[in-house]
Amino acid sequence: PPTARVRVHQISPSQPAAKKTTQSLRIMQVAFFFMVIVSAASGFSPSAAKTRPGTKLQMGLFDGIFGGGGKAKASHILIKGSDSDEKCKGLLMGIYETALDGGDPKQGVPAEALMASFAQYASEFSECPSAKEGGSLGSFGKGQMVPEFDDVAFNAPVGIVHGPIETQFGNHLILITDRN
């Protein structure tokens, strides 16, 4: 009876089919590595800043490399002039007194009351065109504001009036209302 012979052919790395297979394998390894990194990065969200007042915003995994950092939403009051620092301090006290409305400061200030009080003071006293909108600047990205303003908007606690913050434009009171 005839016997079957199996011919085994080895592919050497110099042959085109082997190079293609090696390249495909390398691409799959890189893609898998990237998927693992992206999955891990989703665990580093800045949501802690919204849920726990007073905590610092955590930078995302790629923010330091690609300059990310999300967006902030804030309102401000701009006061110009040589005595702007003192005026801001007086406005700051007035904003909180109005928001408390005779309540106990130890109980904290309701967010809605603070935002309404801030908007009222911004409309009345701010020297910025945003005064027409209660001081609201809307959402903005990191680097869109002057450095002093940016530092507060992206690092200071959300839901607290910060200031006076001095910039080239004057002194500001800043209320960060959201960050992501």
pTM over 0.75, yes/no: no
If pLDDT is split at 50, 70 and 90, which confidence band does 107 have? confident
Query: What is the predicted pLDDT for the residue at 45?
Result: 34
Q: Mean of the pLDDT values across residues 100-121?
A: 92
Share of the chain above pLDDT 90, in %: 55
Phi, psi of 39 (to 5 degrees): -65, -40
Q: Parallel, antiparallel, or unpaired: how do β-strands 170-179 and 136-141 relate?
A: unpaired
Residue among 70, 67, 27 at smallest CA distance from 45: 70
> pLDDT tens digits, residue range 47-90?
333 333 433 334 444 444 455 558 999 999 999 999 999 999 99
Contact in structure between 17 and 33 (CB atoms under 8 Å): no
Query: Could you give the residue ranges of the DSSP H alpha helices within 2-47?
Result: 16-41
HEC string of 99-146 equals: HHCCCCHHHCCCHHHHHHHHHHHHHHHCCCHHHHHCCEEEEEECCCCC
